[in-house]
Chain A
Amino acid sequence: MIDLSVDYLGLPLRSPLVVSSSPLSTEIERLKALEENNAGAIVMHSLFEEQIRLESDEMDRFLNAGTEAYFEATTYLPEPRTPNLGPLLYLRQVERTKRAVAIPVIGSLNGVSRGGWIRYAGEIQDAGADALELNMYQLPVRFDVPGKDIEMEYCDLVADIRARLRIPLSVKISAYFTSLPHFARRLEKAGADSLVLFNRFYQPDFDLETLDVEPRLQLSSPEELRLRLHWVAMLFENVGCQLAITGGVHSGSDALKGILAGAHAIMTTSALLSKGPGHLRVMEQEMCEWMAEHGYSSAAEMRGAMSARRAGSAAFVRANYMKVLSGYVMRGSPGGA
């Protein structure tokens, strides 16, 4: 009997396969189906503070447009009957999800202001989320802000939120930090119970016909996994907090690799969007078969077995082109710091 259960963020999960933050969580029926297919937990889609502001601003703008400018039509739209729900819409969704499923529900937050981060984190907790994932999803586009300031801001924010929250806290970050290992330790110190690697950004695409720049988010591809594997393997046992992988997990073997790298939770969405909730069972089946075949009885047993510390491969600390030049040299070098 293979034991896939895991303790992630202090929450007992029956499987490390977690539904990552995505529009999937907006539909209760789909969440139920994911639970039925043995999802370990659900990370809700993010509450975007900026979007709430934007929606409020837009509603204001369009309700104002053309008003009080002409005798016959002093307004063009009725005032809303009920208030703009703003964050309430999200919080209600957390409550509904909690009522609908028994597995842990992890809220997700993307703020723009310190006040917003703190306030909404508390509200998500109060709405019943079992844990909160801070979705640090911002592009550093200012040319006058050095990286250390951004890192400092992130860490201060995590510490601030940690101090006010009862529930466990994970921090989802991007890969784009000059010294990710150092930054990871700072986040841990600030109070992150888990680091979730990595965010995926909308990346502009070019339309060759219209010469338009179009923001586009495509479903992840399995190739994206390797970056995550690399860094989870690097961080495992070098930071005290837990690790989770999100992005590029499409199959059972992807999940296995993640656990071997050192992840407690393996998050997936794209595969479920394209193949449906039943794909979770397929992944699980594949994992169990492989584990049985290779003599693993539990996820805990295999976790981190191929991390940088435990695999001892120089592949984690060298740039790949070195390997091409001299494939044999790498084998003996230890990883970690």
Chain B
Amino acid sequence: MTRPFVTVDGNEAAAYVAHQLSEVIAIYPITPSSPMGEWADQWSSEERPNVWGSVPAVIEMQSEGGAAGAVHGALQAGALTTTFTSSQGLLLMIPNMYKIAGELSPTVLHVAARSLAAQGLSIFGDHQDVMAVRGAGFALLAAHSVQAVMDLAAISHAASLESRVPFVHFFDGFRTSHEVQKIELLTPEDLRALAPDALVRAHRERALSPDRPVIRGTAQNPDVYFQGREAANPYYLACPATVARLMGEFEKLTGRRYQLFDYRGAPDAERVIVIMGSAAQVVEETVDYLAARGEKVGLLNVHLYRPFSVDAFSRALPASVRSLAVLDRSKEPGSLGEPLYLDVIAALHECGRQMGVIGGRYGLSSKGFTPGMAAAIFQELGKSSPAKHFTVGIHDDVTRLSLTHDPEFTVEPAETVKAVFFGLGSDGTVGANKNSIKIIGEDTPNYAQGYFVYDSKKSGSITTSHLRFGPHPIRAQYLIRDAGFVACHQFSLLTRTDVLGVAAAGATFLLNSPYGPEEVWEHLPRGVQQAIIDRKLNFWVIDAYRVARENGMGGRINTVMQTCFFALSGVLPRDQAIAAIKKAIAKTYGKRGEAVVAKNHGAVDATLAHLGQVAVPAEATAGFDRTPPVPPEAPSFVREVLGEMIAGRGDRIPVSRLPVDGTYPTGTSRWEKRNIASEIPVWERGICIQCGKCALVCPHGVIRARVYSRDHLADAPAGFAWTEPKWKEFASQAYTLQVAPEDCTGCGLCVEVCPAKSKTETRIKAIHMEPQAPLREAERRNWEFFLALPETPREDLHLAHVKDVQLLEPLFEFSGACAGCGETPYVKLLTQLFGDRALIANATGCSSIYGGNLPTTPYTTNETGRGPAWSNSLFEDNAEFGLGMRLAVDKQNAYARELLRKLAPRVGADLARDIEDAGQRGEAEIQEQRARIGLLKEKLRGCDSPEAANLLAVADSLVRRSVWLVGGDGWAYDIGFGGLDHVFASGRNVNILVLDTEVYSNTGGQMSKSTPRGAVAKFAAGGKTTAKKDLALMAMSYGDVYVARIAMGANDTQTVKAFLEAEAFDGPSLILAYSHCIAHGYDLRFGLEQQKAAVKSGYWPLFRYNPALAGTSQHPLQLDSREPAMPLSEYVLNEGRYSMLAQTAPEDAARLIEEAQRDVHRRWKTYQHWASMPVREPAS
């Protein structure tokens, strides 16, 4: 039987099998497993049936805990059920996993294995999550390659059905889940053969049914629980044999051989590495290489880790073995060793075999594992007394556990072609390379592999694509270091990153260059010139932007560069390559409309005429080189640690340089100058009315305003702009609006919001965009001078005035959020108003990523060193986490007061009383309290008593703290809602800022309960059919929760007012902030216009509900926007998330928008009614 070859990634391979063999799929998005759920949802929405001819039901749940619960219920009711998850998601499933296993319910959880959040969160791959569930009673089956993912996914489903033991089928997050490989597809017939109907019927017969009722989930007592737990033993004992038999059947079916423990290497091996997952392929290719050279080495690739078959393990291990290195991609602090290591030792003990065993950790958080590392381990094993415990792949200069290895050691076949492409996220490089690898995989006999690396920023992100292809299966599970083809799709990257560091001698170098073959040389940095000469590179250039522009492609150069790659690599004859590229374009973009396909095809046709080879001069002549990652004046930690990360050398940072507990300095984003904007705002002081709107909305904190004494201007650089302040009280001073030229992302929100226009040329606003490059140097000097100017004293400002807010220093700056982000202006405002006394608990999501993703982070400090103290716990627990902070702050405050009373005689009764009685209302009073605390501390330092020392430790808590719980709608509406609700009910003084983008933005736009009716989102591809949850109304129902719904673009004054009121309210406060988002599908430059439209249409009514007003003459509920004044369709159809449906399913779109319009009216009436209800209690 011939089976088709497909070029897919591990997620798609797993999802394909799971979808084919399931009836119910309950999921929750989490990186890197999210695509599995998305595939399943897409296929079901396309009515693709499973092997039994029925379309699986896919449901997105509110959390992984919810998904596991739904899986459990569906299993109990007799459906073939599956789910996909990773990391903390798997941990949230643990309680149900015990239940599912305890009830012997067959199911498979497909896990893209990922690190666990510990000293820091990591989305990357290792086995910590899987190891954390090894006690749950699930079988654990590991796949080491994309092909194995497809194969072992099928075997997992079959084995679970037969054995009744539920399975976790896992593979390495990103390395396998996102690696694209050419693999053989299992057909529905194959899958059907593995999962006989009789077993499915048996599963149904065990299901709960009122027609033959049974009871499960009883409460058991000391008399029988233990025996009951043992009763299932036979199933676990039988399971390995079942898996082994199915693997045998699978081999007969497909020819591919798997065993519980796959041995590979010398038959008389003495040294063997035991390992699971993708790194097994690296060990395999290293073993092949070394064994061919006579070394007695081998690999034991563990597939079925649980139930662990000692017998199979022992049989797989050659009798000749003298020593084993057991490698865990995991970390269990405090243990004798990691789990696989301990299990192997126990297995050897049980089977009575004697040999040396050492245990090592490798590859945490997708740290690369290379043949050099494998070779180093074999070398270690060969020593007379090897290290019992070791790490490999890092430099541990603290506990000195790390092995050294040769990074140049390579075992890859010479025939494998290796290509590396550098691009930006926005230019489509990765998408084109994914297509290229599919073309090579499907249109040539070659094996093919693609792996894609992105940097840690959401705007201006650098992407690196690693493509391999050739006649041999590709087992290299690490980044390419010696590419025969290097393409740089962005000229500017030459000065930012070491593009040619990966180029092998004689490689082809393709550069997208605005300069032609004759003139490009003089524009290259010296290091690049030298590398081209030294490595004798074949150097080609094309002005891809010109070709793209001329063909209506804007900044998308993907197909142009792809065409060049095929032309230069010669992997296919040119005509055939072009035909294949066009076919791929039609497949990828066909649904978007003919015009899109046509322009891409046009770009392909126009490309090769613009490709030219450069005659390489004999000498490097450039007088400039790559810029350092951070400036030399940066603090040493920034230079030596963060700077190295920025430069892409983070892998080399030794353990000693890293914090032991994940504590990092704040205020580091200022050192990372990314220069990603092609155009930046320019201030026209003569036009500016100093309203402060641009500074308020700037998502990246790059527009700042200050009022300062004109005396400072004497030292100003030439061209530094200032004007007279438009404040009466500051009239004699100077006002400057300054842009940070190297930190701006060029989003243009500031220009759109600017209300001031030139009187003689109305196209010119007080803020307008101009090319960055010519402005950069001068504006950098101006920016530095500006930063050195004194802050405008806060106590002189009216914080409720937007105009004054611009003069408050933002303590959140230059984040890596998307250009034009709708969330960050609110976060920045929070820090301007309260940052110097704020504690922020941040739910995982976009705001925790742009807020806390290394290398550099945006929260910073003011000139006194104060600033937001920020932490991210998890996704689901943020409300509780923040409440905990409040409890601690309150407790410390209470304790400090107790001590203060006791110590009053010593520090002064007046001072103690003043501190205790301080109202701390407003900036001035807070400053006064800070001064008192300063005085108190001085006095305490002079006291020699334990109580004085204790008070000194908590004295700062006597200054009012502002506790903020920040997160997105995924947290507040879904996964964290239970906790949030509890916090509402707690009455505690916390401030909750919900950055409502109406989807899970960080994981790629999955539907949340905040997603509005009619909007398209992942898991709502046909438009969401239910209404958005009204979280505000739910919170208001408590009666003593402050609630505000805000949209900065619609009413910035109301926004500022809501923040001030929420913070002042002594109880829980909820602010729901409309946040436009890249997932809404329109140019974010117009985000604020859309906010206006959202409010005007009545979709997003603005209001503030302040329980503190109860009993006053004012109504607690103030409606801050007017009744709906334009049709909802006028607002929504500006956004791709709605218009997409209108263009593809117009009737559905029309119906949903009509229903959504009714939602709008209903909601407005509700609020209007509430706002008009009498507020005074009726007389009793």
Contact = CB atoms under 8 A, between A and B. Distances in A.
A290 interface: no
Nearest to A81: B1021
B552 to A, nearest CB: 7
A151 to B, nearest CB: 28
Contacts of A77: 1005, 1016-1018, 1079, 1081, 1136-1137, 1140
Interface stretch (B94-102, B904-912, B1142-1150): B1142-1150
Contacts of A62: 1081-1082, 1136, 1140
B1003 A81 contact: no
B42 interface: yes
Question: Which of B434, B596, B757, B1002 is most buried by chain A, counting CB atoms within 10 A of its CB?
Answer: B596
B425 A69 contact: yes
Interface string B560-578: 0000000000000000000
B22 interface: no
Contact of A52 (B595, B762, B1146): B595
A61 B1135 CA distance: 12
A217 B812 CA distance: 44
B1017 A78 contact: yes
Contacts of B1144: 80-85
Interface in B571-608: 589-596, 599
Contact of B431 (A68, A76, A86, A213): A68
B556 interface: yes
B681 to A, nearest CB: 19
Contact of B589 (A60, A71, A81, A89): A60
A76 B1079 contact: yes
Given A65-B1078, A72-B849, A74-B1004, A81 B45 contact: yes
A73 interface: yes
B563 to A, nearest CB: 18
Interface in B256-301: none
A84 B592 contact: yes
Contact of A76 (B32, B428, B849, B1004): B1004
Interface string A70-101: 11111111111111111001000000000000
Contact of A56 (B426, B592, B755, B1021): B592
Contacts of B1081: 62-63, 65, 76-77
A210 interface: yes
Contacts, number: 164
B1140 A59 contact: yes
B75 interface: no
A237 to B, nearest CB: 44
- The A interface, classified by DSSP as helix, strand, loop or mixed, is loop
Contact of A75 (B554, B590, B1004): B1004
B595 A57 contact: yes
B595 A89 contact: no
A64 interface: yes
Which of A57, A58, A65, A77 has the largest number of chain B CB atoms within 10 A?
A77
A66 B818 contact: yes
Interface in B1065-1080: 1078-1079
B38 A78 contact: yes
B452 interface: yes
Contact of B454 (A64, A69, A210): A69
Interface string B29-42: 00110110010011
A76 B1146 CA distance: 22
Contacts of B1017: 77-78
A53 B592 CA distance: 10
B1005 A71 contact: no
A55 interface: yes
Interface residues of A, number: 38
A77 B1139 CA distance: 12
B248 to A, nearest CB: 38
Given A55-B1143, A72-B1004, A77-B1079, A63 B1021 contact: no
Interface in A22-81: 52-53, 55-81
Interface string B725-746: 0000000000000000000000
A60 B593 contact: yes
A324 interface: no
Contacts of A72: 31-32, 34, 123, 849, 1002-1004
A209 to B, nearest CB: 9
B463 A76 contact: no
A68 B430 contact: yes
Contacts of A58: 1136, 1139
B425 A59 contact: no
B174 interface: yes
Nearest to A93: B1146
A57 B1079 contact: no
Contacts of B223: none
Nearest to A213: B762
Contacts of B42: 78-79, 81
Given A68-B452, A70-B425, A71-B454, A78 B1021 contact: yes
A102 interface: no
A76 B1005 contact: yes
Contacts of A71: 31-32, 123-124, 174, 454
B424 interface: yes
A86 B1078 contact: no
A81 B1022 contact: yes
A73 B1136 contact: no
B591 A66 contact: no
A211 interface: yes
A228 B538 CA distance: 68
A61 B595 CA distance: 12
Interface in B331-355: none
Among A52, A57, A60, A61, chain B packs the most CB atoms within 10 A around the CB of A60
Nearest to A59: B592
B1120 to A, nearest CB: 21
Nearest to A58: B1136
A174 B1017 CA distance: 43
Contacts of B554: 61
Interface string B441-476: 000000000001010011001010000000000000
Given A55-B1143, A63-B1136, A69 B556 contact: no
A83 B431 CA distance: 20
Contacts of A60: 589, 592-593, 596
B426 A69 contact: yes
Contact of B425 (A57, A66, A78): A66
7 contacts: A60-B589, A62-B1136, A63-B1136, A66-B458, A72-B32, A210-B755, A211-B757
10 closest A-B pairs (Cβ-Cβ)?
A69-B425, A56-B593, A73-B1004, A62-B1136, A68-B430, A62-B1081, A56-B595, A84-B593, A76-B1079, A76-B1005
Given A67-B425, A68-B431, 12 more contacts: A55-B593, A68-B425, A68-B434, A70-B457, A72-B1002, A78-B38, A78-B1021, A80-B591, A80-B1140, A82-B1145, A84-B593, A86-B1143
